[in-house]
Amino acid sequence: MTSTAARTALDLTSDLPVTDLEDLYRDLHRHPELSLREHRTAGTLAGRLAKAGYETTEGVGGTGVVGRLRNGDGPTVLLRADMDALPVQEATGLPYASRTDGVMHACGHDLHVTWLTGAAAALAAGRDTWRGTLLVVGQPAEETGQGAARMVADGLYERFGRPDVLLGQHAAPGPAGLYPHAPGLIMSASTDVDIVVHGRGGHGSRPEATVDPVVTAAYLVTRLQTVVSRELAAGEAAVLTVGRIEAGTRHNIIPSEARVSLNLRSRSEEVRQRMLAAIRRIAHGECLAAGCPREPEVTVGSTFPVTVNDAATDTTVAAVHGEVFGADTVFDPGPAMGSEDFPELALGSIPYSYWFVTTTPAEVWEQAPGDTFPEKFAAVPSNHSPHFAPDLPTIGPGVRTLVSGALAVLSGA
């Protein structure tokens, strides 16, 4: 334990208001809000930031929140948490489970906001230990890939100053108490695609008078499995997930169209383009095989870039995390297949560090089947699962990661 940043971070967080932060977390978890509707969440965050002494602005890029703390000469450091929840029906059975039907904080953004709130308060209280400017950002609509770009387009940097460094973190499955870092590629690119299959509707008892889009969509989904299994080299990490299929209203009516929504993950633009070409080709071929009266519509939707940490920045932040939590808690997990719109905040040039904080309760981890880390990792509830339930004792550590990371890149006092 040698660096000033690490020592200061431990000092500043030695007496965190853990009960208060847990209450905040449970409150956020009970009241999840979908993308761009994070009004209550934003209000809560803004109130806390203002109380901690930040100049606070709401409504940036829709429902975004910015808190600024100017504290003398020094670099500007942006700390970011995303705020939106997901259209998932919670199944955790927790006493503080979602009270909104069909909406859930299944990706841990409630924890991200809690962490950010705690860190912002601690850094403000300890402002005599550092110099520079803090931008604390509550970002909307990460799940839909819109929020970061909307905040930038709404003048985030013109209005509040361009940061020198960005820091972000994400809750992840894994035994609570690990801090995976990668000095380069850490998250993959993501692209949404929608396919509409046009058949010809009719009575369920007379399929011969129709072109059945339900059956066509089903064959299409099975055929799409070959994009990953046959068309990409084994080493080209990529995923094609059909997250949604929808067709028809009644047992005995053959509808006239079917809709398939899918998401791609890849680690290079070349692979992404190859996957898109394969999807178009397969959709075309399957609809031709079915005799569809019209070509399928294949529409490319939200796209997330790859998340590539600046090596120097991430090495600095990983080092301080190693000091704060122990060297064996920080390791390079290799690139994940998840995606973020966090890089949109970097405008292609601002260096950033983005890391994970594992949040699976110890007892859940231990009881999960499997002997190896990957086995258990696959067995515990992951992000977007209706059973995703981070461990409450990770609230303190997630505040410390932000505080120590910020201190490591700010100027000492």
372-391 positions binding a second copy, by CB under 8 A = 372, 374-375, 377-386
Minimum distance of a second copy from residue 41's CB (angstroms): 19
Minimum distance of a second copy from residue 148's CB (angstroms): 16
The one among 17, 43, 207, 293 contacting a second copy by CB under 8 A:
207
| Contact set for a second copy, span 89-128 (CB under 8 A) | 91, 106-107
**Kind and range of the H or E element at 137?**
strand 130-139
The nearer residue to a second copy, 14 or 205, going by C-beta atoms, is 205
Minimum distance of a second copy from residue 258's CB (angstroms): 7
HSE, side-chain direction, 13 A CA sphere, residue 26:
11
| By CB under 8 A, residue 11 contacts a second copy | no
Beta strands in 257-398 (DSSP E): 257-266, 297-304, 307-308, 352-360
**DSSP states along 242-298:** EEEEEE-SSTTEE-SEEEEEEEEEESSHHHHHHHHHHHHHHHHHHHHHHT-SSPPEE
| Contact set for a second copy, span 294-333 (CB under 8 A) | 301-302
| Contact set for a second copy, span 26-85 (CB under 8 A) | none
Rounded Cα–Cα distance for residues 155 and 348 (Å): 16
The nearer residue to a second copy, 18 or 221, going by C-beta atoms, is 221
The one among 185, 215, 276, 300 contacting a second copy by CB under 8 A:
215
Binding mask 226-265 for a second copy (x = CB under 8 A): xxxxxxxxxxxxxxxxxxxxxxxxxxxxxxx-x--xxx-x
In Å, how far are 100, 122, 147, 177, 403 from 399, measured between CA atoms? 27, 9, 23, 13, 6
The nearer residue to a second copy, 159 or 203, going by C-beta atoms, is 203
In Å, how far are 261, 277, 340 from 268, measured between CA atoms? 21, 14, 15
The nearer residue to a second copy, 154 or 194, going by C-beta atoms, is 194
Q: How many residues bind a second copy (CB under 8 A)?
A: 104
| Contact set for a second copy, span 121-180 (CB under 8 A) | 143, 173
Name the residue among 313, 351, 409, 396 with its Cα closest to residue 5.
409
Minimum distance of a second copy from residue 62's CB (angstroms): 19
Rounded Cα–Cα distance for residues 322 and 10 (Å): 13
Are 276 and 300 spatial neighbours (Cβ–Cβ below 8 Å)?
yes
The one among 204, 351, 361, 393 contacting a second copy by CB under 8 A:
204
